[in-house]
Amino acid sequence: MSRTTKKRHDGQNKDSIRTFVCIEIPDSIKQRLEDLENQLRRVDAQVSWVKPSNVHLTLKFLGGVPVDRIDSVAEAAERASRGARVFDIEVGGAGCFPSPRNPRVFWVGLTALPEDLVRLHGRLEAELEPLGFEREARRFAPHLTIGRLRSPGTGAELARTLIDIGFEPQRFVARDLIVMRSQLKPTGSIYTPIKTIPLLSTQQ
């Protein structure tokens, strides 16, 4: 007798976990993101704003991962970070995808792409590929998503305002790689670390 996969109230299969791999950002930057979002809310646009407490620097979004494969994903992330040391990331500047004239996603970016981050991302892709997670076809462009447009064609003014305000650069130290669970709720997403992998300190 075949078993029908049931859907939970959060829209996910009960036998899978919505998963991504990320780097946590400090509360000081999250507070500044909240201040930025509050300024942008004054512009008349239909946007789903991301709670600043939920903003992460995502390296790889995996989607729904079967429960029995979560351990393999965590082990792959551990292998990818093996030997990797803590490194600096500088957040700065802002923009939108795909263009300011027709924006859909609003973000704060990085002032530069650290070689350590590129290397870590490449190793993560290599370790996850044998598990069935395809490499990203697009160029690696890490960013902090702060909002998504709900109604097409209503965000051009908001895009101009975001770019004009920008985001003054702020540096922080990336200390961990996190395999994160995402649960979609009516009140917003809930994120729970599945595995936190410390990077090596510079003294080691």
DSSP letter string over 77-97? Answer: HHHHHTTPBPEEEEEEEEEEE
- CATH superfamily for domain 16-198: Cyclic phosphodiesterase (3.90.1140.10)
DSSP characters for 151-204? STT--HHHHHHHHHH----EEEEE-EEEEEEEEEETTEEEEEEEEEEEPBPTT-
pLDDT-wise least confident of 7-16, 66-75, 91-100: 7-16
Kindly calculate the radius of gyration of the chain based on its CA atoms and give it in whole angstroms. Answer: 18
What would the two tokens of residue 202 be? 């510079």
pTM (predicted TM-score): 0.87
Q: Residue 153: which pLDDT band, with cuts at 50, 70 and 90?
A: confident
Distance CA 97, CA 157 (A): 14
Q: Do 184 and 7 contact (CB within 8 A), yes or no? A: no
Tokens of 155: 């965000």
Contact 28, 170 (CB under 8 A): yes
Q: What is the pLDDT of residue 11?
A: 44
H helix or E strand, kind and range, residue 18: strand 16-23
Q: Which of 60, 31, 155, 162 is nearest to 103 (CA)?
A: 155
What are the two backbone dihedrals, phi and then psi, of residue 98, each rounded to the nearest 5 degrees? -85, -15
Q: Structural domain boundaries of the chain?
A: 16-198
Q: Where residue 131 falls among pLDDT bands split at 50, 70, 90?
A: very high
Q: What pLDDT band is residue 12 in, cutting at 50, 70 and 90?
A: low
